[in-house]
Structure 1
Amino acid sequence: MKTVIKNVLLGSVAGLAMVGTAAAADLPVKAKAAEYVKICSTYGAGFYYIPGTDTCLKVGGYVTADTYFTDIEGKTRVTVPGVSYRLDNDPDGQSYFLTRVGVQLDARTQTEYGTLRSYFEGRFNAGESYGFGQEIDTGEFSFSDGIRNSAEMKYGYIQFAGFTFGRATSAFDFWAGDGWQGIQPGSFYSDVTLNVIQYTADFGNGFSATIALEDSYGREDEFANFEELSGQQVPDIVGNIAYEGTWGAFKVSGAWHQIGDWNPLVGPDFGNGPTSLFTSNDDSGWAVLAGVRFDFAETTTLYVEGAYASGAPGYLGLDGTIPVVDAFGRAVEGWYVGGSLIHYWTPSVFTTVVGSYTQSDNFAVGYDIDVNNNTNFTGVSSTDFTGYNVGVNIGWVPVKGLTLVLQYDYLNAEYSGSDFLYGNVTPISYSQEAAQNRVTFSAKRSF
């Protein structure tokens, strides 16, 4: 009997021990604290703290899909001794598509010296391009006819204690074609992103001033860089005074641009080979700009801007369109005026009228013209460039972040030859003109 009782007691103790062990295994274990993404309200909507840091990050982007229909008419006029003819080129209209995807990252950290900011925007472009307009990649005005598949870094800069380092908007520019819609606006204005070192002083009450060293290669085409500039020796020096207030904004800016030595070797051939007669007379280019923006009753915005440049066509958005110096080495001068009027009829419907006009002074160019494939004329003549563009559009924002726009614009660009200067014939006149009608439908989704 004692043995039975003993066995029962031992079995009970063992069972209790097993139950106690199981119960202990089921007890909750203290988990490691999870790091949740927190909203950062310091810099506005869309910012979040990067987990484990005090840096706020905003991730955004956009997709733009454009459909174009372009009709171009070209005219060429040549007058030489005994020959005068005009050639008209009126091809059928062209339709084409362009798509752009943009990715934006904005990281900010508060420090004892103020906000430390780094910003990046990458663009991926695909499609065909045909016609005159601001270049999809560089922002310069030109004619393009070819594939536009590309990837580019539009912005990539660091801002700290008033300084900006990296690829950013030029301190010279103000009106960046605001009002034009689509990937390839067709106007004449300065809107350049390039490598810079800038310092901005904030005086309070909306006033500021900026001084900058900017990469001159960002303002010139390849020919100017290596032929007219002889490579960059000194960066462009740019400065501005600006104001931003409740009624709008204004900016006055100026720039100095080194031209460098250039010998065009355009002397005539009198049987002894070309004679080197001409060298650069100007070694410094410059540009000035003044722009103002008026904001009316939160529904209407008016931009007006004008710029003048001598030996610095990139500051007119005309790099590659007019030369830095002419065939005699003289700095080529030009100017433009432009702007836009944007009005919101309702919070989701707007219309815009936008345009600009540009003109260069008369400058010397070399020519080599073959008339009727049997008579060749060479020498130096003079010409000037004139261009204007006007556009209207209507836009609809059906939902937040989506904009649909229908736009029409007309552009005219002309090189007008005037008088003979130097060569083996006299007189001579050579002119080219292009007119463009274009309709654009643009859809843009921002997020």
Structure 2
Amino acid sequence: MIAEPEPVEYVRVCDVFGTGFFYIPGTETCLRFDGYVRYRVGASEDADGWFKRTRVRLNVDTRSETELGTLRGFMRFQADWGNGDTGSNGTITNDGDVGIDQAIVQLGGFYAGYTESAFAAPWGLPGPARFGILHTDQGGMYADQQRHQLGYIFNGGNGFFGSIALEDDNHLGDTVLPPEFRNIGESDGYMPDVVGTAGLNQAWGAVWGGVGYDESASEFGARAGLQWNVPNAPGSSLRLGGWYASDPNAYAVEMPINGLAEWSLAASYHHQFNPQWGAEIGAQYMQSFDDPAFGDDSDGYQIEAAAIWQPVANFDIRLEGHYYNQDGATGEDDTWDGFLWFRRSF
């Protein structure tokens, strides 16, 4: 007797968590893949030739509903091929090695794992509160770094949001602080840094603020931002923001060329002319600490601008440039860089 074939279980669309999710066959877990492939060529004032970078990014997002809230696991795999620094995202020294750039587990509002610092890009909060004020890909200076962390997030139906995070200060990520300000390896390495964020996100735009306490330096940084969505111009917005640091610490933003800023102000505008064309321009001013190691009370600014063309869905071409100026900077007082990229998103 010939056995009956097993019934085929086709992949089902999962629309509970938004577009792109599908049920893993035989489970109630929803899965989504997204990411991009990008080629970028850049130049800078100090370059002797073009800098190239090709990046592959794959995000894996799994979610399911439980009696304690949504259970989520997020992983980001990334690989870069390049021959140097293009002015943003650092210098590439590897050749296509795939690494796990982020990994987060979340249940309800609680989350734990490795991702951007909650001071620069709070996990799970609305887009306007994440990264710098400037609309450009580089985003200006905003104390960008990645850290291990434990946290809790809140997203209310009325638009209010907030988070509290404990960050591991033994993992410095991209911070520019020298070791003498971190006390790495001493007993205070057991104590985490603390970051809090709160804000409001509605149809007109968003407003937010946050504070990060650097336990090793016993100092703090603060930031605040505002986004106004321009009426009758879908996709267009104006952003204003500022940062302050009580003394050099991990939550002080960088100066345009070298050093750390005591305070900084930024403004940026993105205009979407039509679904295919957009442009943005922004500027950021910084005042350094009165300390030779962190800028010696110098001031500086940077200007960033970009033009974006999306000829077809999920494909964009971006031309972006940056100019930096800082009085009393180590080395040159001003410099520039820029890039052109081609990106296929999915």
Q: State if a TM-score over 0.5 links the two structures.
A: yes
Larger strand fraction of residues = 1
CA contact (8 A) 1:67 1:98 kept: yes
- Other structure's SS at 2:311 match: coil
- Partners of 1:197 and 1:321 in 2: how far apart? 31
Tell me the alpha carbon deviations over residues 57-76 of structure 1, each in whole angstroms, 9 at most, x when there is no partner. Answer: 0011201111112124xxxx
- Other structure's SS at 1:340 match: strand
Please report the TM-score for the alignment, with normalisation by the length of structure 2. 0.85
CA contact (8 A) 1:186 1:411 kept: no
* TM-fit CA distance, 1:285: 0.9
Residues 190 and 250 of structure 1: CA distance in aligned 2, closer, same or farther (over 3 Å): farther
* TM-fit CA distance, 1:356: 1.7
The one-letter code of the counterpart of 1:322 is G
Return the index of the structure with the highest Cα Rg.
1
| Aligned with residue 54 of structure 2, among 99, 102, 105 | 99
For residue 344 of structure 1, what is the aligned residue in structure 2?
A: 272
| Aligned with residue 157 of structure 1, among 76, 94, 104 | 104
The one-letter code of the counterpart of 1:410 is Y
Structure 2 residue 70 is the aligned partner of structure 1 residue 118: no
For residue 214 of structure 2, what is the aligned residue in structure 1?
A: 257
Residues 30 and 152 of structure 1: CA distance in aligned 2, closer, same or farther (over 3 Å): closer
- Partners of 2:176 and 2:267 in 1: how far apart? 30
For residue 270 of structure 1, what is the aligned residue in structure 2?
A: none
Residues 111 and 312 of structure 1: CA distance in aligned 2, closer, same or farther (over 3 Å): farther
CA contact (8 A) 1:134 1:187 kept: no
Larger helix fraction of residues = 1
Residues 335 and 222 of structure 1: CA distance in aligned 2, closer, same or farther (over 3 Å): closer
* TM-fit CA distance, 1:347: 0.7
CA contact (8 A) 1:344 1:351 kept: yes
- Partners of 1:384 and 1:311 in 2: how far apart? 12
Tell me the alpha carbon deviations over residues 106-132 of structure 1, each in whole angstroms, 9 at most, x when there is no partner. Answer: 10001112211111112211112246x
For residue 32 of structure 2, what is the aligned residue in structure 1?
A: 58
CA contact (8 A) 1:252 1:289 kept: yes
- Other structure's SS at 2:250 match: helix
For structure 2, the residue ranges without an aligned partner over 5 or more in a row are: 121-128
CA contact (8 A) 2:56 2:80 kept: yes
Residues 37 and 415 of structure 1: CA distance in aligned 2, closer, same or farther (over 3 Å): same
For residue 82 of structure 2, what is the aligned residue in structure 1?
A: 127
- Other structure's SS at 1:189 match: coil
For residue 197 of structure 1, what is the aligned residue in structure 2?
A: 150
**Number of equivalent positions:** 329
Indicate the larger mover: 406-415 or 161-170: 406-415
Please report the TM-score for the alignment, with normalisation by the length of structure 1. 0.67
For structure 1, the residue ranges without an aligned partner over 5 or more in a row are: 1-24, 73-91, 137-143, 260-282, 324-332, 367-381, 417-430
CA contact (8 A) 1:214 1:236 kept: yes
The one-letter code of the counterpart of 1:391 is E
Q: Give RMSD over aligned pairs.
A: 2.8
- Partners of 1:336 and 1:399 in 2: how far apart? 38
- Partners of 1:221 and 1:107 in 2: how far apart? 28
| Aligned with residue 301 of structure 2, among 355, 367, 388 | 388
1:325-344 matched pairs, under 5 angstroms: 334-344=262-272
